[in-house]
Structure 1
Amino acid sequence: MNVCPGDVVCRSVPARSMYQEYYNMSVIQDHYRFAKGLTQDQLQERLHSRAGLSSLSLVFLAICGVIILENLLVLVAVFRNKKFHTAMFFFIGNLAFSDLLAGSAYIANILLSGPQTFRLAPVEWFVREGTAFIALAASVFSLLAIAIERYVAITKVKVYGSNKTCRMFLLIGACWVTSVLLGGLPIMGWNCMGSLPACSAVLPLYSKRYILFVVTIFSVILLSIVILYVRIYLIVRSSHREAASSPAYALLKTVTIVLGVFIACWLPAFCVLLLDTSCRMASCPVLARADVFFGFATLNSALNPLIYTLRSRDMRREFLRVLCCWGLLPRGGGGGGAGADRCAGPLKSSSSMEHCTDRHEHQHQATPIMQECTTCV
């Protein structure tokens, strides 16, 4: 063994014994002390700190609670109403499920951070961080899947043929398999255990190369979404017939909101992670506040339901009916029984997406997955 900067002992861990180190409780302390540039006294202070959750952590916990409630409403609405058993709504439901897991994983991450971090074995630390990475990656891949579906819909390419359902669920399955592989790489061996200088300052058991790889993947996804939405914009603008219709303007508005919110939420976190790959904590103090940027990125999971579903009046009505069933809204009230209508009244199509869905379902009642009508957004 040799000595690294900061008087932290560097262990040379053979590959065959690396997984044995996953249960070594002192590994977390060594990595955090080196990555964060802590002295032994500072480390002991963190180890024995009895401080509770900060006000910022409490705010993020509240936001995560909203994320879980919002996305649970989306899932219940899509599940209980056959009107929403269409390709577009299945993709939205997949996005809602990934965002719900992202909110749950971030709650666990907050509760197991601070002094609790040093009570974790490396394998537990990898599960804590990997779960958050998997959930957030699935959310990003779901956004890409929705962008692909909308591009296919606007170009009227019939990818949903006789085996349309199989193809749709294969795309959803690929989203989750890729996310699990991406988030599980560190626990499978791509980490910096045994090589402290290669460690991330923000995530001290993760390799800087892995961080760079993840940021590159997400950047490629972002670029792909931009390209797809630009293509959609150009197609709609080039069609005088569609440009004059309300669905086209609704599509452009949705695209602008989605793209703007995605970039606003994720770009700061990407920048911090990129900085982490080339800068140490002492030289870049902003890395010490990385949790704020990750929390801000999680806001995307709270905003996605608003962007993708609350623009649909039928979905809003279904939300109210679900809340009534849960007893969170009164079934009656002022306004001539408006509350009861919200709880039990039949859905009436009101937005461009729903008009299109109804028209298609009357023509093909036996095949609920949209084939042609997904041009409506």
Structure 2
Amino acid sequence: VVWANSALLGPASERFNETNSTLGERSSPSCVQIRIPQELFLALGIISLVENILVILAIIRNRNLHSPMYYFICCLAVSDMLVSVSNVVETIFMLLNDHGLLDVHPGMLRHLDNVIDVMICSSVVSSLSFLCTIAADRYITIFYALRYHSIMTTQRAVTIIAVVWLASVTSSILFIVYHTDNAVIVCLVTFFCITLVFNAALYLHMFVLAHVHSRRITAFHKGRRQSTSMKGAITLTILLGVFILCWGPFFLHLILILACPASPFCNCFFRNFNLFLILIICNSLIDPLIYAYRSQELRKTLQELVLCSWCFGM
């Protein structure tokens, strides 16, 4: 079954079909297909899940991290966690099927596929949205530093978070319901491109004019604030870069579905869909490491959580 003819995201059905395919059904020798063991999916999914849970707990626990920026980062961790949870559930399902411990019925596979599709679609839409939100938050912090707390209040941050999640879940459900329409793929790709342009424009403006605003803010004895804000902007630039690298092949996959669904080259590209899934999972795994590396306060809280968990386990 070709991925483009199944559900919009279809990871469960795709991986199930790959696992049960025969040599005769595989691509020609000239088409390189990278085989990904199910155990690797499970291992990466569990590590990513644990990491993102620790980030969420650290932000909740440390009152110094109770600010709009870290609320948005917490939501980004939840988005990553959706990918991890869907991957772990899917992989366990596949492993049970491979070992003959689970009888897969078409209806059961379809329901699982739809649930995982919604989770992954919600993850990508919410991740892109929160990356934009964080970029806007950093922009306000740098260029409207003296008015930041009046502009980005906790109430407004909570409202933004609620709107983003509601829009993400609703659009994901609609995308899956109407997955046979190419307009859905066009919407996803367009949203991806718009968010990238939006983030690139904000970051470019921030870094080009940061020096001028640094002088102005320093005059008001807020030099440290500027330094912290720019550090946050650099952190989010790294996050955006990792997101593009990890999700880029997946969106190229969507573009090729529209551009050349019957081309031998494109079909060869489609057959490596599991590799694109691994990259997506790696994004969920790398993001918490970026948080910890770039934020001393968050890193300290994460260390305390890990040590407490280890002592409790002893």
Bin for the TM-score computed over the shorter chain: 0.7 to 0.9
In the alignment, which of 155, 158, 163 is matched to residue 166 of structure 1? 155
Structure 1 residue 88: Cα displacement: 1.7
Is residue 289 from structure 1 mapped to residue 272 from structure 2 by the alignment? Answer: yes
Q: AA paired with 1:150?
A: R
Is residue 82 from structure 1 mapped to residue 63 from structure 2 by the alignment? Answer: yes
Is residue 233 from structure 1 mapped to residue 207 from structure 2 by the alignment? Answer: yes
Q: What SS does the corresponding residue of 1:191 show, helix, strand or coil? A: coil
Corresponding position of 2:54: 73
Aligned length: 274
Superposition pairs of residues 328-339 of structure 1, within 5 angstroms: none
Corresponding position of 1:323: 306
Q: What SS does the corresponding residue of 2:293 show, helix, strand or coil? A: coil
Q: AA paired with 1:90?
A: Y
1:209–1:277 CA contact under 8 A, matched in 2:
no
Bigger Cα displacement from structure 2, 167-176 vs 313-322: 313-322
Corresponding position of 2:126: 138
Q: AA paired with 1:120?
A: M
Q: What SS does the corresponding residue of 2:272 show, helix, strand or coil? A: helix
Looking at structure 2, the residues matched to 178 and 144 of structure 1 have their Cα atoms a distance apart, in angstroms, of: 14
Gaps of 5+ in 1: 1-7, 9-27, 33-42, 49-53, 193-206, 332-377
Superposed CA offset, 1:68-118 (max 9, x none)? 111111111111121211222211111112211221112223344597584
1:72–1:100 CA contact under 8 A, matched in 2:
yes
Q: What SS does the corresponding residue of 1:71 show, helix, strand or coil? A: helix
* Structure with greater proportional helix content: 2
Q: What SS does the corresponding residue of 1:277 show, helix, strand or coil? A: helix
Is residue 96 from structure 1 mapped to residue 77 from structure 2 by the alignment? Answer: yes
Compared CA separation, residues 220 and 249, structure 1 to 2 (3 A): closer
Q: What SS does the corresponding residue of 2:276 show, helix, strand or coil? A: helix
Compared CA separation, residues 150 and 248, structure 1 to 2 (3 A): closer
1:323–1:329 CA contact under 8 A, matched in 2:
no
* TM-score when normalising by structure 1: 0.63
Corresponding position of 1:180: 169
Looking at structure 2, the residues matched to 162 and 214 of structure 1 have their Cα atoms a distance apart, in angstroms, of: 30
Structure 1 residue 212: Cα displacement: 2.0
Is residue 312 from structure 1 mapped to residue 291 from structure 2 by the alignment? Answer: no
* TM-score when normalising by structure 2: 0.75
Higher RCO (CA 8 Å, separation ≥ 6 residues): 2
Q: Work out the percentage of aligned pairs sharing the same amino acid.
A: 26
Gaps of 5+ in 2: 7-16, 23-34, 98-103
Corresponding position of 2:138: 150
Compared CA separation, residues 297 and 78, structure 1 to 2 (3 A): same
Looking at structure 1, the residues matched to 286 and 112 of structure 2 have their Cα atoms a distance apart, in angstroms, of: 30
RMSD (Å), alpha carbons: 3.4
Give the structure with higher Rg (CA). 1
Structure 1 residue 255: Cα displacement: 4.8
Compared CA separation, residues 136 and 276, structure 1 to 2 (3 A): same
1:64–1:103 CA contact under 8 A, matched in 2:
yes
Looking at structure 2, the residues matched to 272 and 250 of structure 1 have their Cα atoms a distance apart, in angstroms, of: 34
